[in-house]
Structure formats: C-alpha cells, structure tokens
Amino acid sequence: MSGELENQVRDWLRVFPLEAPAVVVPVYNAYEDVLECVDSLLKTTPAEVPVLVLDDASTDERIFQSLTTFAAAGRLLYVRKPMNTGFVDTVNLAFTASAPRDVVVINSDVVVPPGWLERLRSAAYHRSNIATATPLTNWGTIVSVPCRNKPVPIEGMTVEEIDARVQENSLRLYPIIPTAIGHCVYFKRAALDLVGYLDETFSPGYGEEVDWSQRAVLLGFSHVVADDLFIYHKGSRSFGETGTDARIRLRESHEKLIRQRYPWYGEWTTQAANEREHALAYAIEQARDAILGYRVAVDATCIGGPVTGTQLLTLGLIRALALAKPPDVRLSIIVHDHVFQSRANLLGVDALVDELVPLSELNGLTQPRFSLVHRPFQLHSLTELIFLRTVAHRVVISVLDFIAFSSVGYAVNYADWERYRELIYLACKVADGVVFISQDAANDANHQGIRIESQRVRVVYPGTDYQWYAQDNGIVEKGRLPPLPFILILGTNFRHKNRPYALKLLPILVDQYHWNGYLVFAGPYVSCGGSENEEMAFFESNPELRPRVLDLGPVTETEKLWLLKNASLVLYPSTYEGFGLVPFEAAMAGTPALTARTTALIEVLGDNVLYLDSFDLQESAERVWQLLTDPAMREKQVAVIQARAREFTWEKTAAQLWDFYQRLLRMSPNPSRAVIWPLIADKKPYVMPLGGPFVIRVGRRLKRVLEVTLAEWLKLAMETIQFFRYLLNRRFSKEQR
C-alpha cells in the first residue's frame, strides 16, 4: 500500500518545478490545528510550491472532509494512509515520494507567516554543508522565543506581527545548533541522499530528528536556525491519544537510546542552551527584544550621599532619556539598596522611569536581565565591568576624560596606575559602545593608543540646561557664607583643577590692583592626586593672605547656587576637562566665568569667549581684573556662554543616545568581549577586587589578546584562564596552610 501512496504523490508532484521543495504536513487528528496550519500555508506559500498533507489515519472524519475540499482547489494534495503507522513512517514516505526535491516537514499545530519559505530556504542554503534549517518559534526548546529555553504561548499579537518584528531586528547570523527542531525543518536533499531517512527504531516518534541530525553531523553537515523567521507553534499536541504515561515511557526509552548512540549530545545541547557568547544566544536575544521591546538600564550606582557633579550628570541623563523614551522600550535604573529604600537623592527621576532596580536584585543572574546597560560615569574597577557584562547583553560605557589614565599622580602607586590604565583599555575594547562627552575626549583616546571601531563610538555632549533641579530654597547656613566680593573656584582639589594657580593670582590682585576681595574654594578634597601640599606651601610663604582665602569644602546645591549668583567671577583655570560644566553653571546664574584655553573647554565654549590665554601670572591677573571691573565685558562673557549653552541640551543628548543605543542593538555584539567571560564564569568572589602586580600581569595578557589573530587569541585566552586558575590554586593552598 505504501508503494501506491508513493506513486500517487510522485504523479502529483510532476506538475511542480523540481527546484521547488515539497512542503509536508503529517496529520493525526487535532482538527482545528490542522485547518489553521493548512490555511496559513496556502495563504503564504508560493503557488509553484507543492503542499502535501499526509494523514496518518486520523479518526476524526472532519479532517478527511475538509482537506478533501482544500485539495480540490489543486494547490494541495491530501493523502490518507489506511492505517496509523506513526510520525516516522509518514515522514519517510514523504522523503521517498518527493525525491529528488528538498523537503520541509511542518507540524500540524504550526502557523506560518508570509515569506516564511523563502527565508527558511535562504538559511538552509547559507552554506553548502548545511543539512537542515529550523525557524525560531515560541515552543521549540533551544530555539524558543521570547523566553530562552522556555516554551510559552504569546498573546496580544498575530503571527504576522511577531514575525515582522523578528525579521526587522534579526542579525541573520544563522546560528549552528546541535539538532534540527521538529516543529518545522527544511531538509536539503543532498543531506537526505547521504544520511538516509529517519530511523524506524524511533517510531512512532520522539528523538527521530535528533538521531538523524547526529548522523548528519558525523558526516560533516550542520544544522542552523533561520533567525529572521518566526513560526507560531501551539506545542505538545502530538501523541495525545496514547496517554501521558505511555508518552513518558516512550520518550524516556528513546532518550536513553540517543545517549547510548551519541554520548556527546546532552552536553552539546546544554552548552547551546546556556552559552552566552554564541550566535544562538545573540539571535534569541534579538528576537526577544523584537517581541517584548528593548530593556535599557542606566547604572546609577554613583547616586547616594552628597550630590556631586557626576550624580547630577547621571540624573540629568536619566531624566532626559525617560522623557524621550521610544514607546517600545522599558527604561530601568540600577541603584544601591539604600537608595532604593530612600529615594530623596534621585531628585524625582525615579518617577519617570519604568523600573528602579536595587543591586541585590541582580545577584546570581543566570541570564542577562537587560538588552543594554549604560554606565554614564567612569569605571573604577574590573568588578564593575564584570557586573555590567553580567546584567546585560550589550554594555555601553561613558569615558568622561583621560586625566587619571594619562597622569600617574592620580594613583596611589605605579602598579595601581597601570591597573587603572589596563581597566580603561580593556573596557573600551570589550564594550559594545563607548560614549565620549566631547570630541576632545575622543581624540585623546586615540592619542592614548585606544582604538575603537568607528561604529561603536559616539560623541554625545551632556546637557547644560539644569533648571530642572537648581531650585533656590533660600536655606543657607549663614556661617558658611563668604563675605563679598569674592572669586569662586568651584570643584575638587585635583591637581589639574589648578587651585594653586588661583592662589598665586591673589597677591597680584591685592598688591597691584588693590582688590579687597576673597578667594573661595568650594568642593570636596580627593583622597589621591590633590593639591593640598602645594596650597599649604603657598600659605607658608604668604601667611598674610590666609585670611583672604576661604575653603568651604563640599557644598550643597543650594549653597552652590548662592555662591554662583553672588560671586564676582568664577575662575576655572583647569588644565584638563572632558567637557567643563562649571562655566555654564556660572553663566546660568548670571556670573561670568574665566577658564583656561585647554582641552575640551576650547571646544565647548567656542571662539567668542575670553580665556586665560596663557598661564603667565601677570597676563592672567590683568584678564581677571578686566572681568571684575568692566560691566560690558562681564555682560558679554555671560551672554556668549549662555548662547553656547543653548547648543548643549538634554533633549539633544537623549535623542543622540537613543539613536546610538538602537544602532548597537541592531549590530552583532562586540566579539572582543568574550575575554571577560572566564572571569564571570568562575564566579570566585576574590577574583573581583583585583589590584597590584596581579592585575598588571593579567592586564598585559588581556591587552595582547585583543591585538592578535584568532589562532593566537585562542591560545592566549587559554593561557589567561590557566593563569587565573594557577593564582587561585595558590591562594587556596596558602589559606589551607
């Protein structure tokens, strides 16, 4: 009887071109599913492609009646077997009868979208040695989306809508997988001819496609995913009438046979299901984002304690991103647990985002929670970089400046400096995107030898419109207020802020210009790289000027606003800035600022402002005096800086960042980031606080890894991993002794 059925199918196929694959739907009952599947196939499959429905002796007569009607239209052949022999026999019948064509086998509980066959065929023919192609689906083990490895129904969207999103967002990686997944498989005839057909040992079903796939692998073939195609699968509809216990016994028996024949298969599928640096993981994440929307997080762990410029930049960025957020994006901010509990330091931006996530909630993640995370302030440790890589599929870092990178004076010792340099070098190499806050900072990166692919770097200026938080509530401690008039030097005491230079200007202003005012320093002292020794030396040489200098230390935002409004001049003689916000803050308060003509300050302030054109004390004192005494010059300086400020808005910042994020999310992840994986995989807590010679040695290895060929990369990567293990074993041995 099988010969008669084969001949019937062959005769019918003669009217279709040989290059067209045969689309085969094995059927057994499940009437509603079958009708929906066939209807979708006839609507979306090209007319020159034959659709063959093989009925394995269904007991539901409605199937015979309805499919006979479908077949009368000529596009479909319905063949009913006289007795139920199982899925394996049915598919082998299709393989035999359709030769020499390729064959697509589709479960009867599947719904396909427009263009499905063209994309599935493209994946199958991506390389000559591909045996099968399988589409993404909602119910398909390792090719399940949107939840990786977790079959789920999807509600609220049609198959067409889901597929269109997946297709648009796909990277078209065609990931290699261990086995074809049975909901829908494109079998190439070349592989069928060499591998043979399904093994009847696995009849009536379960495990047959795994067995065939492994036989194909052993002959040099591979299996891929059509990651630009989504097919809806209702799932778990097969063998429904054999009973649950019977199905479990059948599956266990066939899985045992697979383990005996192919002992590697279990480990291979486990790795494919869980590996993060693999094309399949990337494809699944792209599809997830397409279906559920992007999940973008901002690392706001700098928030907490007194408000600083870094915190305000971060909060301003979050606020701007929230106000400009695309509708299909979920925006989260990551904060310390104490900030999560008491949110005053967030200045209200927590009400604008979709989610506030405490750090403790991100401990022990087995899969990244976010599509992308952005760290908008400087990295300080390898632990932080590893954390970012753990919580998100893509990592964006902001590099504000390279002052600590280029100057050894900002580190405790040389080893600590080299550790920091290696961290920044590594971070820029492995990040999926790097943001610089000025073109000068980007140029400095290149000058420092840090090369980043052009599509992964973006210059995005911060906003200077701070009115959203700068509210004067009038509460200022009177004992903290300096007498008038005064020149304000705002910022930390880092050496590059050049506070000693401002001190050296004071005796000239007092002695030559008879100025009767004060110098006021406002800002925190740093633990390393500060100018306190130089300042002490100045006062030792000029004790009479000590009363004319007031050091307020850290100030509140209200105090800062008062100082800006009441200062005669804001002096900013910094030798290095990644952007330079202080002049804009001064101008918004109506006070002129005078800066050095250095680094990013030239770029952001432009050519029309007055600068300290040199560090000659006499020339600088003269320029300071002009701005103290000439109303027209003061007014013009404020107006020019205010005009420049209008070019740097948070609205523009947000638009550029969202554009950058979305570009990165549609690109393949940075392949260099794989060097971080061994550090994450080991999950050893004492690996995190790296420092000293240990990091220098490892850092050099990692740097070398990023500059060599693939073969060398693999060798050096293994050496690096072995080096980590060697050091860890030594530590264990010492602790045991």
Would you state the pLDDT for residue 467?
62
Please give the model's pTM, rounded to 2 decimal places.
Answer: 0.84
Query: Could you give the percent of the chain with pLDDT greater than 90?
Result: 77
What single letter denotes the amino acid at residue 298?
Answer: V
For the segment 60-115, what is each residue's pLDDT rounded down to a tens digit? 999 999 999 888 877 799 999 999 999 999 999 999 999 999 999 999 999 999 99
Average pLDDT over residues 456-468: 87
Confidence of residue 305 (pLDDT cuts 50, 70, 90): confident
For the segment 249-296, what is each residue's pLDDT rounded down to a tens digit? 888 999 999 999 999 999 999 999 998 888 999 999 999 999 999 999
pLDDT > 50? residue 709: no
pLDDT > 80? residue 725: no
pLDDT > 80? residue 39: yes
Listed residue (147, 156, 251) closest to 208, CA to CA: 251
Confidence of residue 571 (pLDDT cuts 50, 70, 90): very high
Confidence of residue 736 (pLDDT cuts 50, 70, 90): very low
Average pLDDT over residues 349-362: 96
For the segment 174-214, what is each residue's pLDDT rounded down to a tens digit? 999 999 999 999 999 999 999 999 999 999 888 999 999 99
Listed residue (516, 583, 523) closest to 547, CA to CA: 516
Strand order in the sheet with 593-596: 549-551, 518-522, 486-490, 569-572, 593-596, 611-612
pLDDT > 80? residue 615: yes
For the segment 654-690, what is each residue's pLDDT rounded down to a tens digit? 999 999 999 999 999 998 877 776 655 544 333 333 3
Residue 517 backbone dihedrals phi, psi, to 5 degrees: -100, -165
Helix (H, G, I), strand (E, B) or coil at 618: helix
| 81 vs 305 pLDDT, higher one | 81
- In contact, 391 and 373? CB cutoff 8 Å: yes
- In contact, 106 and 24? CB cutoff 8 Å: yes
- In contact, 204 and 239? CB cutoff 8 Å: yes
- 667 φψ region: left (φ > 0), alpha (ψ -120 to 50), beta (else): beta
Average pLDDT over residues 693-708: 39
| Alpha helices (H) in 263-374, listed in sequence order | 265-274, 279-292, 309-323, 337-341
- In contact, 238 and 205? CB cutoff 8 Å: yes
* Strand (E) or helix (H) holding 116: helix 116-124
Q: Distance (Å, rounded) from C-alpha 344 to C-alpha 350?
A: 10
Would you state the pLDDT for residue 391?
94
Q: Distance (Å, rounded) from C-alpha 683 to C-alpha 150?
A: 25
DSSP 187-252: E-HHHHHHH-S--GGG-SSSSHHHHHHHHHHHTT-EEEEEEEEEEEE--S-TTGGG-HHHHHHHHH
Would you call 295 exposed, middle or buried from its count of C-beta atoms within 10 A (0-12, 13-18, 19+)? Answer: buried
Q: Residues in the chain, how many?
A: 737
Confidence of residue 602 (pLDDT cuts 50, 70, 90): very high
pLDDT > 70? residue 306: no
